[in-house]
Amino acid sequence: MAFISFEQPERYNFAAGPAMLPAEVLEQIREELPDWRDTGHSLLEEPFTSPAFKQLMAETEQELRSLLAIPRHYRVLFLHGGASAQFGLLPLNLLQPGQSADYLESGHWARKAIAEARRHAPVNVIASGAEQDFTALPSSEYWCLDPDAGYCHITSNETGNGLQLPDFPELPVPLVADMTSDFLTRPLPVERFGLIYASTQKNLGVAGLCVVIVRDDLLRAPPRGLPAAFSYAVQAKQQSRFNTPPTFALYVAGLMLRWIARRGGLPAMAEMADARSRQLYRYIDSSGLYLCRQTHAHRSMINVCFQLADDRLLERFIAQAANAGLANLQGHSAVGGARASLYNAMPALGVARLVEFMKEFEHDHG
């Protein structure tokens, strides 16, 4: 194959996470890391109890509240670990003894959340996309909801299956959402949710931090057996400082929030996400080599999953793309195929380069 040659070699990281960061954010980290805010030492060495770090936490929370228009009766928590830790902490924090929870089975990550929740409480699967091999999402009108459930859990975007919920229903029970992969990519009706959680390594920085937005009425004393550090109520009371928070990840999240705000906030992020994904889907759908099995109405704007008509070409496609500066296009290990993750930091030029490469590869192998 004749590789695409760019006058100025560029690299674009299509990894599902940790994801690429904007060049200017990386540059700011590099400049500030040795001497943060003229303290004479690195942010990595800053005590989390210091006035300077408390100010950083307050600024980061305010930036997030402003972008999402978070109502006053919701708390913002900055917690250790990723979304997977919340799979078990949700039933332990939100359910009363003997109470069950509703879950939408939408793909790989929803299944993992269901399996972990079942270790702690009864779970009712309200609908499943398994019959369609997770190429579509069940409409909310067909969800078999339990009016006495403690909460209803959804995964707003399935990174491995390339599916995304287009909207969010109003439910009689608290709606809980894992938004890790599409958090801050579009405006949200926060008031429809009881709790939103998201790891930060997709659109909000680096791994190690999980943001939890929880309505005040869902905060309750930790049940017996739940360590205080894992209690939403305890962490809310202590302003996410019951134990040392992930200081560096929180600092990077603040930089990312300001980067998003400077570019027009969530409406601008949604417009760019739509443009990026449309360009890629348009080419895939016109191609004779690549195919996307996901239903059009439920295709993710963030994680574009696709296959090659000849599976034997997949390994060569991934390798040659990497050599052309297009890294980490392999699909999820449980799903297979290829995947281009188009988070907020992915520039339009990155998608253009990917489409150009795919056309060249199809010309040589189609």
Residues labelled catalytic: 109, 178, 202
Distance of alpha carbon 237 from alpha carbon 242, whole angstroms: 8
- Buried b / exposed e over 325-361, threshold 16 CB at 10 Å, is bbbbbbbbeebebbbbbbbbbbbeebbebbbebbebb
Cβ contact 189:179 at 8 Å: no
The residue type of 181 is S
Cβ contact 298:166 at 8 Å: yes
**Token pair of 200 as six digits:** 């930060």
Q: Is 29 exposed, middle or buried (0-12, 13-18, 19+ CB in 10 A)?
A: middle
Distance of alpha carbon 64 from alpha carbon 204, whole angstroms: 10
Specify binding-site residues for pyridoxal 5'-phosphate: 83-84, 109, 159, 178, 201, 243-244
Residue in 123, 76, 82, 129 with CA at minimum distance from that of residue 99: 123
